[in-house]
């Protein structure tokens, strides 16, 4: 009996040992699958800064994160969750190599040291109705910043690429060398987010946007009503909403557009109507709309002024003898004004809302330049016409002299004519006597003839 009891106990103990071993080995299999993964500590042995930065982040804790564990367990620990919350996940076996999003998940796989700035790396996980960050980014203009340059044949222009490409932007921001050849990624995730520490590349999101959006940044930062109280770009341009259902997915703010509902920006409600002592939502929006309508109509006036001044300059340039250096100065001023208008006013799509006061100042300097250009062109026109007038006057005086000369010539001629006439009439007088002579000689001829005939007849 005792022996049997001991045997049963032994079998029980062995069974437990085997079972527990089996459980342990299952765990071991789960963690070792793809055991060629070396783990973040290994990479960190050489890249200690990157390791330090990464260690405290949500990526390093993507599996151990208590919130993840709670939600995951509550939903029955489905293995498909692990494809994004672990490294080296095998969807066929449901096993994974390392907890969390580790170095090797992003750097090309086990032991690899590849580097990419592509958004699709982050988009492997930051995607789907719960966090459609990649889809939103893909819809945003940021994803098209290289295509835009290709479309106008500027994709090899270093200056353009310093904002329009990930490589150029990072090179500029971090003061690192970069090459145009590699500058093929648009404004991707890693431009704004440091991928190891997950911090923004700049302390404030406004300074980050301002790296490239220099026009909007300079308007906003020149004591705009919102900048004064610390409301920055992402407070208005990154409307977020949590996930409700597959049909009403989360919004992460990565289109960076002003999200509207019923034609009104929704995000203003985060403060207006919520915070005491500032305009309520309706007022805030209607003030914004009236600022935008006013500035829109002023913009139309500026455009008209630019067009009419351009016309005047073109017209004046056809006047012969016009002062070309004055016209050149006018053209330079006008082009200057036009350029500022196109870049800083037309492109400041908020229609002045970012900073109405500063926008009006800017428009005024533009109008002053246009005015000066017009003045110069008209002055040049007046000068040219005046000099034409005085040359006409000399021509006129010269013509008068000629007329006078002609008159003298004519009166001379007249004199000559009357002398001639006199001579003619004298000549006419001469003809009368000769006829008389003729008559006389005829008569005397006849008399002589008659006398001769008489004498001949009388002879015999």
Q: Does 156 bind ligand HEC (CB under 6 A)?
A: no
Residue from 137, 178, 239, 341 touching ligand HEC (CB under 6 A): that is: 137
Q: Which residue has the tokens 């222009």?
A: 157
* Binding window for ligand HEC (CB under 6 A); candidates: 52-60, 332-340, 371-379, 436-444: 52-60
251 binds ligand HEC (CB under 6 A): no
Contact 194, 173 (CB under 8 A): no
Q: By CB under 6 A, tell whether 316 contacts ligand HEC.
A: no
Of residues 214, 205, 264, 191, the one with CA closest to residue 233: 205
CB 146 within 8 A of CB 184: yes
* Stretch in the footprint of ligand HEC (CB under 6 A) among 54-62, 320-328, 331-339, 390-398: 54-62
Q: How many CA atoms lie within 13 A of 274 on its CB side?
A: 7
Query: What are 328's strand-pairing partners?
Result: none
- The piece of 130-138, 297-305, 318-326, 411-419 that touches ligand HEC (CB under 6 A) is 130-138
Q: Counting contacts by CB under 6 A, is residue 190 touching ligand HEC? A: yes
Subset of 258-297 contacting ligand HEC (CB under 6 A): 258, 265, 267-268, 270-272, 275, 278-279, 284-285, 287-288
Helix (H, G, I), strand (E, B) or coil at 98: strand
User: Rounded to the nearest 5°, which phi and psi values hold at 129?
Assistant: -60, -30
**Is 65 one of the binding residues for ligand HEC (CB under 6 A)?**
yes
Residues 220-249 touching ligand HEC, rule: CB under 6 A, are 220, 225-226, 228-229, 231-238
Which of 134, 178, 239, 341 forms a contact with ligand HEC (CB under 6 A)? 134
Our finding on whether 98 is near ligand HEC (CB under 6 A) is: no
Task: Find tokens 């005015």 and name the residue.
Answer: 371
CA distance 83 to 88: 8
Residues 329-388 that bind ligand HEC (CB under 6 A): 347, 349-350, 353-354
The residue among 62, 61, 58, 54 whose CA lies nearest residue 103 is 54
- Among 205, 335, 387, 388, the residue binding ligand HEC under the rule CB under 6 A is 205
Residue 270 near residue 259, CB atoms below 8 Å: no
State how beta strands 86-87 and 264-265 pair: unpaired
What minimum distance in Å lies between the beta carbon of 240 and ligand HEC? 8
159 near ligand HEC (CB under 6 A): yes
List the interface residues with ligand HEC, window 392-421 (CB under 6 A): none
| Nearest distance, CB of residue 333 and ligand HEC, angstroms | 23
DSSP three-state, residue 144: helix
């Amino acid at each position: 009996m005792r022996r049997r009891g001991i045997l049963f106990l032994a079998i029980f103990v062995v069974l437990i040992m085997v079972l527990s071993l089996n459980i342990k080995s299952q765990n071991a299999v789960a963690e070792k699958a793809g055991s060629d993964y070396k783990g973040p500590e290994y990479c960190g042995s050489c890249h200690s800064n990157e390791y330090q930065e990464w260690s405290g982040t949500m990526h390093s804790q993507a599996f151990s994160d208590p919130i993840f564990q709670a939600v995951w367990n509550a939903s029955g620990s489905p293995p498909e969750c692990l494809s994004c919350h672990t490294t080296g996940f095998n969807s066929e076996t449901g096993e994974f190599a390392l907890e969390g999003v580790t170095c090797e998940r992003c750097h090309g796989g086990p032991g690899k040291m590849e580097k990419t700035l592509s958004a699709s790396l982050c988009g492997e996980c930051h995607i789907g109705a719960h966090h459609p960050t990649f889809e939103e980014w893909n819809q945003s203009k940021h994803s098209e910043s290289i295509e835009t340059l290709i479309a106008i044949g500027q994709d090899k222009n270093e200056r353009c690429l310093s904002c329009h490409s990930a490589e150029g932007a990072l090179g500029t921001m971090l003061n690192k060398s970069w090459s145009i050849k590699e500058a093929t990624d648009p404004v991707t995730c890693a431009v704004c987010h440091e991928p190891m520490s997950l911090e923004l590349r700049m302390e404030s999101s406004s300074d980050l946007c301002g790296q490239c959006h220099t026009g909007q940044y300079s308007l906003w930062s020149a004591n705009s009503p919102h900048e004064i109280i610390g409301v920055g770009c992402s407070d208005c341009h990154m409307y977020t909403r949590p996930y409700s259902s597959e049909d009403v997915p989360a919004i992460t703010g990565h289109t960076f557009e002003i999200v509207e509902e019923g034609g009104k920006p929704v995000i203003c409600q985060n403060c207006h109507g919520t915070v005491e002592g500032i305009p309520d939502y309706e007022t805030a929006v209607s003030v914004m709309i009236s600022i935008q309508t006013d500035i829109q109509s002023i913009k139309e006036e500026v455009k008209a002024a630019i067009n009419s001044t351009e016309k005047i300059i073109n017209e004046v340039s056809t006047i012969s003898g016009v002062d070309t250096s004055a016209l050149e100065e006018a053209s330079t001023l006008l082009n200057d004004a036009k350029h500022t208008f196109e870049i800083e006013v037309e492109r400041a799509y908020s229609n002045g809302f970012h900073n109405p006061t500063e926008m009006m100042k800017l428009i005024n300097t533009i109008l002053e330049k246009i005015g000066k250009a017009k003045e110069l062109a008209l002055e040049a026109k007046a000068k040219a016409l005046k000099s034409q007038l005085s040359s006409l006057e000399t021509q006129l005086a010269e013509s008068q002299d000629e007329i006078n000369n002609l008159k003298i010539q004519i009166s001379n001629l007249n004199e000559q004519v009357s002398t001639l006439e006199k001579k003619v009439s004298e000549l006419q007088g001469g003809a009368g006597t000769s006829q008389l002579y003729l008559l006389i000689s005829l008569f005397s001829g006849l008399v002589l003839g008659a006398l001769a005939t008489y004498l001949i007849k009388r002879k015999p």
